[in-house]
Structure 1
Amino acid sequence: MTPVPQSPYARALGDRLEDLHPRLRTYFQAIPDGAVGVGEGVFERVGTPRRLLWPFLRLLERRGVVAACWERDVPFRVENRTIASRAIGERTFHLPRGPWIMHDAVALTRHGRVVDELGEPGLIAACFDLDVRDGALELTSRAVGLRLGRLRLRLPRALSPIVRLTERFDDDRDRQFVSVSIDAPLLGRVYEYRGHFEYRIETDAAKETAG
């Protein structure tokens, strides 16, 4: 019998996966072959109001890492796929100036931790510790690195930003909520997005077209 593939999140969590809210278990488990996980909702806010950071963020924006803006009530769509044991995500932010796409790919390290490569081609990588609290999944970065060509550079802890992500499900509102923040040493909060969405698994039309 062919074993059912597991997502990097499920493998990292192990038995703790059962502590997640049932709807979050669906979100963080592997997407079946030929299917795609689709979420549609609204980010209450995206980016940073610190305009002095925008020129630097625009460099990252062009690589699909973060958006150089400060916007509220931004509609978005996320598409999740499991490819070669990695969780591949594509998030389309419908900003007032036009759509912008954020790319990420999550894998499991040999030490049993999840690492998220952001942008194309994996410009920034963050290694996370995972925790389950009151049915929600909390991720906190323990290391952040950059890819410069073939060179991978791990940032010293004193210079490394802290990335925090929380995913939770609200039964009363029947919505999944996500919150992401990036805090840099000395500078404080340099980027964030947070909002809510509805999620479903459906046939991957893109794969059917390709086939």
Structure 2
Amino acid sequence: MTGVFERALGADFANLHPKVRERLALSGGRGMIGHGVMDRIWRGRHFTLPFLWLGSARHILFPDCGRNVPFTIENYPYVDGHGRETLSFVRTFEFPRRRRRFDAQMVYSPGRGLVDYLGTHQHLAVDLAVTARPDGGFRIRSGEFRLQEGPLRTRLPRVLTGTATVDEWFDPVAGLFRIEVAVVNPRFGPVFGYEGSFAATYVDVGGGVSGAVKPLREKVMD
């Protein structure tokens, strides 16, 4: 199988740094676990707290802040219950008093490109635009958000969601992947973000992917 990022980037996939290509070319029986530290995790002003607390209930964002927070990312390719090739993006942050997770599952849609299903119940889906950076890294920028909860199905206006930007690249001096994430709302400004680094270990998932990184419910909104 061709990985979801390779399909989304097309010819630009060849412009990525070799280490970044290796990281994103996950498909079939090969996955990746990254271990590192987030140098800084931040949130916006006090009025962002209710939104972040609500998201934490389903592993979408969280209100905690900190520095030098141990971090793990799990990227496992698998075929979901709807027959879609899927790549998990399960991020775990080990704060001193609690563990936080930020879960997403990426699929490639011929009509939309890369689509991110967020959280434990996939009630939010967001279109993603991915591009190669001049340094061989990549940038992901969020587009339209769609909500499906029970009978409710709707597109969410930008004023309620904002834009998420993810930059990731390989630092050859440190031998680590660097990452910067920022969520910004057009009306309220910065909402949430983090920045840090991690080392990648590649693992065999030929025996199947653990249900611990899969959502509790799978939906189709692509």
TM-score by length of 1: 0.88
The CA RMSD over aligned residues, in Å, is: 2.2
Partner of 2:16: 20
Q: Secondary structure at the match of 2:9?
A: helix
Query: What one-letter code is carried by the residue in structure 2 that aligns with 1:7?
Result: G
Q: Would you identify which runs of 4 or more consecutive aligned residues in structure 1 move more than 6 Å?
A: none
CA distance 1:208–1:163, shift in 2 (3 Å):
closer
- Matches of 2:164 and 2:126, distance apart in 1: 8
- Matches of 2:24 and 2:137, distance apart in 1: 11
Q: Secondary structure at the match of 2:99?
A: strand
Q: CA deviation at 1:47?
A: 3.6
Partner of 1:120: 120
When the two structures are aligned, how many residues end up with a matched partner?
Answer: 205
Which of the numbers 45, 64, 74 marks the counterpart of 2:69? 74
Partner of 1:55: 50
- Matches of 1:112 and 1:53, distance apart in 2: 29
Partner of 1:98: 98
Which of the numbers 69, 75, 83 marks the counterpart of 2:78? 83
Q: CA deviation at 1:159?
A: 4.2
Q: Secondary structure at the match of 1:57?
A: helix
CA distance 1:24–1:209, shift in 2 (3 Å):
closer
Is the 1:49–1:70 contact (alpha carbons within 8 Å) kept by the matching residues of 2?
A: no
- Matches of 2:72 and 2:207, distance apart in 1: 15
Is the 1:143–1:160 contact (alpha carbons within 8 Å) kept by the matching residues of 2?
A: no
2:37 counterpart of 1:42: yes
Q: CA deviation at 1:26?
A: 1.2
Q: CA deviation at 1:150?
A: 4.5
2:10 counterpart of 1:9: no
Partner of 1:111: 111
Matched-pair identity in % = 27
Is the 1:54–1:69 contact (alpha carbons within 8 Å) kept by the matching residues of 2?
A: no
Is the 1:91–1:103 contact (alpha carbons within 8 Å) kept by the matching residues of 2?
A: yes
Partner of 1:130: 130
TM-score by length of 2: 0.84
2:25 counterpart of 1:29: yes
Q: CA deviation at 1:209?
A: 8.9
Q: Deviations over 1:11-63 (max 9, x none)?
A: 01111111001111111112442x43110001112240523322321111010
Is the 1:12–1:112 contact (alpha carbons within 8 Å) kept by the matching residues of 2?
A: no
- Matches of 2:21 and 2:128, distance apart in 1: 18
